[in-house]
Structure 1
Amino acid sequence: MTIPIALVGVGKIARDQHLPTIAASPHFHLAGVVSRHADDLDVPAAATIAALKEQVPDLAAVSLCTPPMGRAALIGEALHLGLHVMVEKPPAATISEAERFAGMARAAGQGLYLTWHSRAASGVEPLRQWLSGKAIRRIAIEWMEDVRVWHPGQEWIWEPGIGVFDPGINALSILTHLLASPAEVREAVLRYPADRAAPIAATLALASDAAAEIAVDFSFDQRGPQTWTIAVETDAGHAMLRDGGGRLFVDDAEVAVPEGTEYGRLYARFAEVVAQGAIDADLAPFRLVADAHLIGRRETVAPFRWND
């Protein structure tokens, strides 16, 4: 028997990733949506989680695909109704808000999963295993994509604290999963369009007991081919993740990685969370983003235009 789940928010990420993944999932079936923009879906729809629960009494879980602002209220509503909760990244608008979620779930006795989808890319776990026992000398991250392609016309992406860190936090989620010790931000330069409240590019210098030098370059204005790479130099060879972690190269030779999709693995993990009533709520990537804003030097660049 599959778990009845509802999507809260049916925007681009829900349609591109969550809906097809749930449709193919052996663990879940879509029992409804909380959205005003899902008339094309053949499931119950409501304006609130509580209203949907009335329509679908056996609803057991929700997956939040809304923008990060206001997540505490949605999570609180779902937990109060006895639902397990899965959350799209980033988990909230602020660290203080996100830090409440685990305690809320624990008090309610429900499962909570704050997801980092790039950690579930096919090459990430094989690279983590390859790094075991090796001394990391340097890590170089280049994570560059075009906001016009991935968030067309979505003005919420330019809310303070988001911008280029919407994709950039994906790279940081992989980094914090690979490292055996926590990372910290030593320097940061954040480049803000003159007419926007969030950066369109960032350069970071990080360090960790597990890697003395970590260089990070983010852009949200990449034209043409998109770049998502993490290169690692060790005392026993080098490796690179490409295509957002989907492909792994060791000493310049591509190696086989497990089949499957990022979101397929996320929903498989959420099924475990539901079965165990577990809490999986790592905030390490989010803390690095917050630290980058705290110590980052601001530079102003040309205004942003959607149609440039």
Structure 2
Amino acid sequence: MDPIRIAVVGLGKIARDQHLPAIAGTPAFSLAATVSPHDPGTEGIPHLSSLDELLKKGPAIDAVALCTPPQVRYGLAVQALERGIHVFLEKPPAATLSEVAALRDRADKAGVTLFASWHSRFAAGVAPARAWLAERRIEKVSIVWREDVRVWHPGQAWIWEPGGLGVFDPGINALSILTHILPRPVFLRTATLSIPENRAAPIAADLSMCDTSGAEIHMDLDWRQTGPQSWDIVVETDAGTLRLSRGGSVLTTPTGTEHNEDLEYPGLYSRFANLIRGGRSDVDMAPFRLVADAFLRGHRETVEAFHD
């Protein structure tokens, strides 16, 4: 079977750190082109300044991975879907829920694959955590997701603009794990969003949620942490405590600790290939809905200015 010819659109940090290596290591794909108006591209791979140029001039492609800021993904995805090209959306999948819903409908009508990706769900501990929790009664959940924005998003002004999500850009990773491992749906009760006086998006957030059985869920997000970073989810159950740490790569249950090699992005691309081969889409909006709910219902407080 011939490999799927894919173009990567947007060559920022995540594309170079994760997407390009994952594509190179996934035999189902071949990197056909890269697209960016600001980056010179990768040696030996055709490079174009825009998706429009690529679609007009070639090379031919079967799929695109959209790694641009979310505020511009909708238009790019529409261009691809109209040409019958499969679309991989980095997270968050778009700037709004309505955009994602519209893209899902377009993909269905075009008969092509749309994949709203959640890379943290492919962290090593997540699948076994989901299996372990399936038979347990959830009593309480605590999430602490604190990191240093200057380390992970240096100079990325778009992330502070409307649609960029601010601290929810990493926070949605935790929500993607939460909504995947818990056996019941989750909804927001209250939220506090801390927004720097010179920015449009929050630098920290405190969320109170619960599942449909009433189990309390608390989430602490902060982009101001220096030193060791915290990406931890603790689930208290009737059979003891489960902990996912290091972003989901380390799983601890009452029977011990598992720490396996993380292959998040290779896992995403294997999933994308299987969806394409099977003629299916995967557009789970549960994590994105919780973020939207936080912006809808959250109390906003102004905090000191943030400067890179």
Question: TM over 0.5, yes or no?
Answer: yes
Where does residue 140 of structure 1 map in the other structure?
142
The percent of aligned pairs where both chains have the same amino acid is 52
> What is the letter of the counterpart of residue 205 of structure 2?
A
* Alpha-carbon distance in 2 for matches of 1:260, 1:221: 26
SS in 2 for 1:279: coil
* Alpha-carbon distance in 2 for matches of 1:34, 1:114: 20
Where does residue 307 of structure 2 map in the other structure?
305
Where does residue 86 of structure 1 map in the other structure?
88
* Alpha-carbon distance in 1 for matches of 2:59, 2:19: 22
Q: Once the two structures are superposed, what CA deviation does each residue of 1:251-271 show, in whole Å capped at 9, x if it has no partner?
A: 3831254x4510010000000
Contact 1:138–1:211 (8 Å) recurs in 2: no
* Alpha-carbon distance in 2 for matches of 1:24, 1:212: 41
Where does residue 49 of structure 2 map in the other structure?
47
State the 1:180 CA deviation. 2.0
SS in 2 for 1:206: strand
Where does residue 120 of structure 1 map in the other structure?
122
- Correspondence 1:248-259 to 2 at 5 A: 248-251=251-254, 253-255=256-258, 257=260, 259=261
Contact 1:44–1:52 (8 Å) recurs in 2: no
The TM-score with structure 2 as length reference comes to 0.95
Residue 11 (str. 1) matches residue 12 (str. 2) = yes
Where does residue 28 of structure 1 map in the other structure?
29
State the 1:245 CA deviation. 0.3
Contact 2:6–2:64 (8 Å) recurs in 1: yes
Contact 2:11–2:41 (8 Å) recurs in 1: no
The TM-score with structure 1 as length reference comes to 0.95
Aligned match of 1:221 in 219, 224, 240?
224
* Alpha-carbon distance in 1 for matches of 2:166, 2:198: 12
State the 1:277 CA deviation. 2.0
CA RMSD of aligned residues (A): 1.4
> What is the letter of the counterpart of residue 93 of structure 2?
P
* Alpha-carbon distance in 2 for matches of 1:289, 1:190: 11
Aligned match of 2:172 in 157, 169, 174?
169
Where does residue 245 of structure 2 map in the other structure?
242
> What is the letter of the counterpart of residue 213 of structure 1?
E
Q: Once the two structures are superposed, what CA deviation does each residue of 1:152-202 show, in whole Å capped at 9, x if it has no partner?
A: 011001012511000000000101111222211101010011111110000
Where does residue 288 of structure 2 map in the other structure?
286
SS in 2 for 1:33: strand
State the 1:57 CA deviation. 4.6
State the 1:44 CA deviation. 1.1
* Alpha-carbon distance in 1 for matches of 2:255, 2:71: 41
> What is the letter of the counterpart of residue 20 of structure 2?
L
* Alpha-carbon distance in 1 for matches of 2:140, 2:115: 31
Give 5+ residue unaligned stretches, structure 2.
none
* Alpha-carbon distance in 1 for matches of 2:54, 2:120: 30
Give the 4+ runs in structure 1 shifted more than 6 A.
none
Give 5+ residue unaligned stretches, structure 1.
none
Contact 2:8–2:33 (8 Å) recurs in 1: yes
> What is the letter of the counterpart of residue 305 of structure 2?
P
Contact 1:193–1:199 (8 Å) recurs in 2: yes
State the 1:206 CA deviation. 0.3
> What is the letter of the counterpart of residue 220 of structure 1?
W
* Alpha-carbon distance in 1 for matches of 2:49, 2:13: 18
Where does residue 199 of structure 2 map in the other structure?
196
* Alpha-carbon distance in 1 for matches of 2:8, 2:307: 31
Q: Which has the larger displacement, 229-238 or 25-34?
A: 25-34
* Alpha-carbon distance in 1 for matches of 2:302, 2:262: 41
* Alpha-carbon distance in 1 for matches of 2:27, 2:173: 26
Where does residue 212 of structure 2 map in the other structure?
209
* Alpha-carbon distance in 2 for matches of 1:149, 1:96: 31
Change (3 A) 1:278 1:128: same
Where does residue 274 of structure 2 map in the other structure?
272
SS in 1 for 2:60: coil
Q: Which has the larger displacement, 282-291 or 31-40?
A: 31-40
* Alpha-carbon distance in 2 for matches of 1:223, 1:105: 42
* Alpha-carbon distance in 1 for matches of 2:72, 2:45: 25
Contact 1:229–1:241 (8 Å) recurs in 2: yes
* Alpha-carbon distance in 2 for matches of 1:9, 1:98: 19
* Alpha-carbon distance in 1 for matches of 2:130, 2:41: 41
